[in-house]
Amino acid sequence: MEIYLSLFAVFISVASLVVSGYRIYRDRSKLCAFATVVLDGSKDPENPPPQLRIYAVNRGPRPVILTDFGSQISRKESSSTPINSEKIDRDDGGDFIKLPEQLAHNIGVKLEDGDIYEVRIKHDDMTELYDAFHSGKRVKKFFFKDVLGKKYFVKSSRKGIDTLCDYKS
């Protein structure tokens, strides 16, 4: 009887450990980034221009703070720009009028559980489709970067870039 009681106690402790590990795993932020190509029929019904819509959706219970939206040119080359850039006003003499308070804390977009962030890229937006810093090479895929530096690559962005670049008006 004593052996059954100790085996039952071991079983309960192992089950508790597994449940705790599973809850820790589930209690994290999960960002899903994907792209879709939409045809804008209002401009030209015969040959509608495509537009790439990129979505970032937080599917986890913890918030995600996105700081950069970037593009990868090759395996070693990438460039990114801040999502939320603060504008600093200057007067006629070039002096700062008003610095944004707590500039370091306004660095990105905070996505709570279920929040969506959208980026739209048109077919004629050459600054997003070609990188000026790497001799005008064509972008291969897009990504978002969070405050910890983790990159979230956008699913099906490669196919969307090809569709935008192949469009002829």
Q: pTM for this structure? A: 0.74
Q: What is the pLDDT of residue 16?
A: 93
pLDDT mean for each 10 residues of the chain (169 residues): 88 93 83 91 80 92 90 86 70 64 66 91 84 78 92 92 83
CA-wise closest residue to 169 among 46, 52, 53, 35: 46
CATH class of 30-166: mainly beta
Q: What is the pLDDT of residue 134?
A: 64
The residues spanned by each domain of the chain are: 30-166
Q: What is the pLDDT of residue 102?
A: 46
Answer whether 108's CB lies under 8 Å from 84's CB.
Answer: yes
What is d(CA 138, CA 79) in angstroms, rounded to the nearest whole number?
12
What is d(CA 75, CA 138) in angstroms, rounded to the nearest whole number?
13
Residue 18 belongs to what H/E stretch? helix 2-26
Q: What is the pLDDT of residue 96?
A: 61
Beta pairing partners, 78: 72
